[in-house]
Structure 1
Amino acid sequence: MNIAVLSGKGGTGKTTVSTNLSLALNANYVDCDVEEPNGFLFLKPNIDNVYEVEEEYPVINKEKCVGCGMCVKVCNFNALAKVKDDILVFDKLCHSCGACQYVCKFGAIEYKKRVIGRIESGSAFGINIKQGILNKGEPMAVPVIKKMLSSINRNELNVIDCPPGTSCNVVNSLKYSDFAVLVTEPSNFGLHDLKLAIELVKMFNIPFGVVINKDNGEENIIKKYCINNNIRILGTIPFNKKTAELYSKGEILYFDRDHKNIFDELVNNIREVLPWS
């Protein structure tokens, strides 16, 4: 089973919930925020395996190319351009769909591979940990996310730390998910982006619940919205000095007695919503 942890925007505490939830569940942790993975900063695993993620891109054989431009016309991603009689390739825009090679009647296009990122895996505190890292300057994170998620075992319990927002990166993370934990904060911006995240998980028909970070224990707009829309609040993380100090030091909240109770209760509430053996 895969439990996705996501938020409509960055900075809500998504990684804090993901890492501590993994420990509370004794589940594998998978960091899909490949543009800025932070889970390893808290879990500090011993990395025992690193492998590169490659993506294919077209290469033009100038001896065979007649400059007809059919490959340019068929490319929906503007990865090819015709300049006079030459075909230019913008490899970072290529989605490796193969359409250009298919329409070329002269066999002038072949595909080669280039490295766009890497996947690191290891272990800490008795759980398996994995993160993807997109190389600097690369515009597309989806291939790294797909490569990483295709390698996990869905018969095991996995917590997927999704990218922030509701972009295609998040969409591709949710495709592998069975349950979603939506992390938000009690602010107008938090509510706005929570609504976007809720719309997204509903599109995939994924059961979900909400965790409110920076909660002061009083009524707020998030609680009112969830109550009015019959949305389950799975738990809250307090807005206090102790939580902030532990977080700022990069310490695991779950190892603190008070916070351990918070995440154990979160696990129990998830079990109530989505039982598993």
Structure 2
Amino acid sequence: MIISIASGKGGTGKTTVATNLAVSVDDPVQFLDCDVEEPNAHLFLHPTIEETKTVNTPVPQIDLDACNQCKKCMDICRFRAIAVIGDMVLTFPELCHSCGGCMAICPESAITETDRELGALEIGHRDGIAFIHGRMRVGEAMAPPLIRLVRQAGATDGLTLIDAPPGTSCPVIAAMKDTDFVLLVTEPTPFGLHDLTLAVEAVKILKIPMGLVINRCDMGDDKVKAYAQREGLPILMEIPFDREIAQCYSRGEMFTLTLPEWKARFRELLQQIKTLIGKGAGE
């Protein structure tokens, strides 16, 4: 079972929910931090890192002596990563999505591939939690290739929790795609509601069952709850704006370990998710 914890905007408490859920379950769990631009789950889980892997992606390399400037490579590239100007062929590795189309279509076999560094994978563990996260290279523009590699590095059985990036753009889709459930985390504010609506529409396109956690539920207004009711979006948990919880967060601790009554609530959250997944499969 793969559960992706996502949010329409940053700062809603997505990582807080993901890490506390991970330490609350009894069964072994795999935690994938796919927020590769700014991974922070390790600040709470404190895993022991056992392995670091440099991650590369293939990009085109042009043999100008063999090239006849036919422009077929430029025409096939949807991302404008190749430009033919006169007798010169320019490549823009940061725009390349590593599809291999240019190399396949070249009639002169003038294109080969070379590696471009994306970042690194760090693999470790904490007690019964297997931990993997990606760290994107400074200056790198494309997160989805690294996110896909983080997901590929994980095991395919057992419970997997994915801490997705914030927002609704390509990195989030890469983290949510082909998961069994999306747990959306929001806050009852106008910004929270606005970005939640975008996230819900994105999950609908992916046709994945979803549920909602409202963080800091006792501030703001009731518009998020009204929206959830209209959309038939189940509210699975509400977390109050609580001083003790905030103090745990400020110390880099998970509040379920300090406030044991919350551990039981997160276990119940997981059971609700399993029930919703089962209903989806039945339909």
Q: TM-score range by the shorter chain?
A: over 0.9
- Identity %, equivalent residues: 42
CA contact (8 A) 1:54 1:117 kept: yes
After superposition, the Cα gap between the structure-2 partners of 1:193 and 1:62, relative to the gap in structure 1 and judged at 3 Å, is same
1:238-276, Cα deviation, whole Å (9 max, x unpaired): 102111111111111110224334423323332432359
CA contact (8 A) 1:235 1:265 kept: no
Structure 1 partner of 2:82 = 80
Q: Which runs of 4+ in 1 moved over 3 A?
A: none
The answer to whether the aligner puts 1:12 opposite 2:15 as a matched pair is no
1:161-200, Cα deviation, whole Å (9 max, x unpaired): 1111111111122223101110000011111111111112
Structure 2, unpaired ranges of 5+? none
The answer to whether the aligner puts 1:173 opposite 2:182 as a matched pair is no
Supply the distance in 1 between the matched residues of 2:52 and 2:172 (Cα, whole angstroms): 23
Structure 2 partner of 1:239 = 241
The letter for the 1-side match of 2:196 is L
Structure 2 partner of 1:267 = 270
The answer to whether the aligner puts 1:145 opposite 2:144 as a matched pair is no
TM-score w.r.t. length of structure 1: 0.93
CA contact (8 A) 1:71 1:80 kept: yes
Supply the distance in 2 between the matched residues of 1:232 and 1:16 (Cα, whole angstroms): 20
The farther-off stretch of 137-146 and 228-237 is: 228-237
Q: Of 214, 217, 221, which aligns to 1:215? A: 217
CA contact (8 A) 2:188 2:221 kept: no
CA contact (8 A) 1:237 1:262 kept: no
Deviation at 1:118, TM superposition (A): 1.1
The farther-off stretch of 67-76 and 137-146 is: 67-76
TM-score w.r.t. length of structure 2: 0.91
The answer to whether the aligner puts 1:48 opposite 2:50 as a matched pair is yes
Superposed, 1:98-117 pairs within 5 Å as: 98-117=100-119
CA RMSD of aligned residues (A): 1.9
1:82-130, Cα deviation, whole Å (9 max, x unpaired): 2331111111111112222223222211111122111111111321111
Q: Of 116, 123, 126, which aligns to 1:124? A: 126
After superposition, the Cα gap between the structure-2 partners of 1:68 and 1:272, relative to the gap in structure 1 and judged at 3 Å, is closer
Structure 1, unpaired ranges of 5+? none
Deviation at 1:154, TM superposition (A): 2.9
Supply the distance in 2 between the matched residues of 1:228 and 1:76 (Cα, whole angstroms): 39
